[in-house]
Structure 1
Amino acid sequence: MTAVPPPETHQFKLGSCTVTAVRDGANVMDNPWEIFGSNQTPDTVRKLLEQNFLPTEKFVNSYTPAIIDTGSDVIVVDTGFGEAGRARGFGRFRKGLKAAGYTPEQVTVVALTHLHGDHIGGLLEEGAPAFPNARYVAGEIEYAFWTDKAREGTPAEGGQKAVLANIVPFAEKMTFLKDGDQIVSGMTAMLAPGHTPGHLVFHLESDGKQLVMTGDTANHYILSVGRPDWEVRFDADKMQAAKTRRRIFDMIAADRIPFLGFHMPFPAVGFVEKQPEGFRYIPKTYQLEI
């Protein structure tokens, strides 16, 4: 028999909150320049990867939802692929939740940065709500975009179908957020459009400690954080996405606070330092342990 290891989890304290990162899965993808730096030459992308001791022809894309335990709420931020991704090795968040000591019934809030499939696929389990006692929060602009019939017959139609299947059933239990709205005490939403029209980031503060959940604001720690102006294939509005990357990571760098990025190398938590062409990514080590 082949043993399947449990999902990778990483837990740390942020003030009086406990934050757990869970690796929903990861995959190796070819030709990084086809996704990152589409306004650059392939050789320019290869050169930057090589300078950073990374393979030039492939990259690893990781997917990291998170659990925030405030003591009064258990908040899931994004849900991963869910059961639809398990045949490909994804959809491991549910097991990771249990490995971290939580049951799906304990989750009180599900907060969605945006409505792409790798973030909303875990909302349902065998046709029933995966988190039966939770309330749900998502962006007002984001929901309006994906449920608009104007998406039909466009490249966004596939994404719309996923939203109709996974999000619309929860609409009555969903709070639609605007910029600055509070999710729970100490956790607020910030509009960060570009990747999708209503993409949000979440700012968490507890006992003077801060963390920003950046979702898909940047999707690679070198090719996107390091070069925020490089175009990304999956960004709906590439110019807006670049402006948002600059704005969000300027804030994170200036305040010297950690962030959790959904596609950053696991455990997906780090800091950034501003540099002339972008930002230097510094992975978290023991800063939040002492």
Structure 2
Amino acid sequence: MAFQLKRRTLFSAGAGALAAPSLLAGLAGAQETMEKDGMAKGVDFKTLKLGSFKVTVISDGTRASDNPHEIFGTNQPAESVATLLEQNFLPTNGFVNGFAPVLVDTGSEVVLFDTGLGEGGREAGMGKLAEGLKTAGYAPDQVTVVVLTHMHGDHIGGLTEGGKPAFANARYVTGQVEYDFWKDAARVGTAAENGHKAVLAKVVPLAEKITFIADGGEVVPGISAMAAFGHSPGHMIYRLESDGRAMILTADTANHYVLSLQRPDWEVRFDMDKSGASASRKMVFDMIATDRLPFIGYHMPFPAVGFAERQDQGYRFVPASYQFDI
């Protein structure tokens, strides 16, 4: 929209405007920024500086779905969900879900958080992580650590490519509680059986290279784990800290920037422990709001970076703008 308006202004100003060096430089700068962030190349990514860390958010794609109430606020009247959506200028009959893996280059390690949907998502226009890494200037074999926040399919799908590990030189980090739950044959015959099968196919073959951690465990210097169970049995979030600056990767603690944040008590279909997930949302976002920390949420609107402000019954998502450019 902004670029289109600039083009109209340029051409309506007459030929003289074409000679204005500052105007041309501005357009060139805008184009350079678009290319740097991947927008002009068909793959969305955004790079931020956090102290000495280089943090890159990559879009694995988006998926449109109908009937938000069937996913969010399932313990509420449909009318209440529709009203909250309307109040936030959102449609009531559908929503768009994004997927945002994060790459953290510490200078000595290249750490990837979650792997998207992988090959299984590409027919539907997702599974873009591999392409996004390339566009952002990284090859899969440069990744030294892959962290799995939890083991739902949209986080582990990209672990393999063509039947082989997608990140040939990486070791892996994940929560012990999460792994033990999904690997257990007790999942057979339950609603978690498909997830169990996916973990057996994608994660278990990598077990020899996995480091299992618990609450407070260190991934690499400056990156530590925090338990936020509920969405899944061993769901973990991660704190990044470099040169006195900190950020939280909240993974799936909140899966919608309005319905999950403004109403953290509302139940979400995909939260396996509904009350536990609600408690984690309140704990995590109360910390983020109190300490005024930026966060990256896996399903927040791309580039999935923002802040949380206390509001009414919950929190308001405040998208980041130029905070990381100064």
Aligned counterpart, 1:289 = 325
Contact 1:194 1:240 in 2 (8 A): yes
Aligned counterpart, 2:179 = 143
Aligned counterpart, 1:7 = 43
Shift of 1:18: 0.5
1:69 equivalent to 2:105? Answer yes
1:184 equivalent to 2:216? Answer no
Shift of 1:5: 4.8
Highest CA radius of gyration, 1 or 2?
2
- Distance in 2, matches of 1:60 and 1:275, equals 24
Moved over 2 A (4+): none
Task: Report the TM-score when normalising by structure 2.
Answer: 0.87
Aligned counterpart, 1:162 = 198
Contact 1:11 1:18 in 2 (8 A): yes
1:115 equivalent to 2:151? Answer yes
- Distance in 1, matches of 2:119 and 2:312, equals 43
- Distance in 1, matches of 2:76 and 2:41, equals 39
- Distance in 2, matches of 1:232 and 1:43, equals 16
- Distance in 1, matches of 2:219 and 2:46, equals 23
User: What is the CA deviation profile of residues 74-129 of structure 1, one whole-angstrom value per residue up to 9, with x for unaligned ones?
Assistant: 01000000111111111100000010001111100000110000000001011111
In the TM superposition, what are the counterparts of 1:258-277 in structure 2 within 5 Å? 258-277=294-313
- Distance in 1, matches of 2:72 and 2:41, equals 31
Contact 1:6 1:99 in 2 (8 A): no
1:241 equivalent to 2:277? Answer yes
1:35 equivalent to 2:35? Answer no
- Distance in 1, matches of 2:206 and 2:214, equals 18
User: In angstroms, what is the RMSD of aligned CA positions?
Assistant: 0.9
In the TM superposition, what are the counterparts of 1:221-232 in structure 2 within 5 Å? 221-232=257-268
Contact 1:84 1:91 in 2 (8 A): yes
| More RCO (CA 8 Å, sep 6+) | 1
Aligned counterpart, 2:246 = 210
- Of 152-161 and 5-14, deviating more is 5-14
Shift of 1:7: 1.4
Contact 1:6 1:95 in 2 (8 A): no
More helix by percentage: 2
Aligned counterpart, 2:163 = 127
- Which consecutive residues of structure 1, in runs of 5 or more, have no partner in the other structure? none
1:26 equivalent to 2:62? Answer yes
- Distance in 1, matches of 2:270 and 2:132, equals 27
Aligned counterpart, 2:229 = 193
Q: How many residues align?
A: 287
- Which consecutive residues of structure 2, in runs of 5 or more, have no partner in the other structure? 1-39
Shift of 1:17: 0.5
SS in 2 for 1:56: coil
Aligned counterpart, 1:256 = 292
- Distance in 2, matches of 1:225 and 1:177, equals 27
- Distance in 2, matches of 1:158 and 1:210, equals 36
User: What is the CA deviation profile of residues 51-91 of structure 1, one whole-angstrom value per residue up to 9, with x for unaligned ones?
Assistant: 00001110000000010000000010000001111111111
Amino acid across the alignment from 2:239: H
Match of 2:116 among 80, 87, 92: 80
Amino acid across the alignment from 2:226: M
Shift of 1:276: 2.8
User: What is the CA deviation profile of residues 210-258 of structure 1, one whole-angstrom value per residue up to 9, with x for unaligned ones?
Assistant: 1110110000000001110000000000001000000000000011010
Contact 1:37 1:230 in 2 (8 A): yes
User: What is the CA deviation profile of residues 149-184 of structure 1, one whole-angstrom value per residue up to 9, with x for unaligned ones?
Assistant: 110000000001110000001100000110000000
Amino acid across the alignment from 2:110: V
